[in-house]
Amino acid sequence: MNVEEAIRTRRTIGRVKKDPVDRAIIEKLLEAAVWAPSHHNTQPWKFIVMTGEGRARLAEGYARVSAAAVPELSGEPLEERLAKDRAKAYRAPVVIAAVCAPSNDPRAVLAEELAAVQAAVQNLLLAAHASGLGAIWRSGDPMYHPLMKETFGLTADEQLVGFVYLGYPDMSPIEPQRIPATAKTVWVE
């Protein structure tokens, strides 16, 4: 698959099979990710790959964030809520946490470091698609919560950029509509 085809045919796949993904394939995706551009070649990315019982770390993060959001809840209602939130970590056989670990290079700008990690995630998503895998890039409030950051043992300057859920597709992707580039482009000549 050439790069233009990969870009045009990649879709978000939110439902994947429980079948395991070979470690060599995951490593290939991560190698594609690290070829993203970064200002001053800082390469500010870090990845935490969770498979099997390793996904329990993410499950615990979701539960901790959820419990903190409803301190008045206890007993069975709380346990039901936490079970539902923990289950989110098991929606795919592989979950990769993409982390921005900013460089200490004095020329590095945080916004550019984050953009580099986001570009790395896009490389990973394209490589997953080219490898026949489905993927979804998840984020949202729990990802930004200090308890989630603590769950993953991140330093004060590190930030989660997203959770990439990967597996073999178990759905047909929805064909998105795109606004043509001409409608979003201004030429200055």
Is position 186 within any domain? no
Q: What average pLDDT does the segment 63-81 reach?
A: 95
CATH of the domain at 143: 3.40.109.10
With cut-offs at 50, 70 and 90, classify the pLDDT of residue 58. very high
With cut-offs at 50, 70 and 90, classify the pLDDT of residue 64. very high
User: Does 43 score more than 90 pLDDT?
Assistant: yes
The per-residue pLDDT of the chain, averaged, comes to: 96
Is position 43 within any domain? yes
User: Does 123 score more than 90 pLDDT?
Assistant: yes
Number of domains making up the chain? 1
How high is the pLDDT of residue 49?
Answer: 98
Is position 187 within any domain? no
Q: What is the DSSP string of 63-107?
A: HHHHHHH-TT--HHHHHHHHHHHHHGGGSSSEEEEEEE-----TT
User: Does 175 score more than 90 pLDDT?
Assistant: no
Is position 179 within any domain? no
Is position 180 within any domain? no
Alpha-carbon span 160 to 151, nearest angstrom: 11
The distance from CA 115 to its chain's CA centroid, rounded to whole angstroms, is 14
Residue 47: both structure tokens together? 């990845």
User: Does 174 score more than 90 pLDDT?
Assistant: no
Alpha-carbon span 102 to 171, nearest angstrom: 36
Residue 14: both structure tokens together? 């939110």
Alpha-carbon span 158 to 55, nearest angstrom: 20
User: Does 176 score more than 90 pLDDT?
Assistant: no
Is position 176 within any domain? no
**Looking at this protein, which amino acid is placed at residue 28?**
K
Strands 94-100 and 159-167 turn out to be antiparallel
Comparing 116-120, 131-135, 174-178, the range with the smallest average pLDDT is: 174-178
User: Does 1 score more than 90 pLDDT?
Assistant: no
Is position 29 within any domain? yes
Q: What average pLDDT does the segment 159-184 reach?
A: 95
**Residue pLDDT, tens place only, 86-111:** 999 999 999 999 999 999 999 999 99
Which domain, by its residues, includes 53? 3-171
How high is the pLDDT of residue 78?
Answer: 95
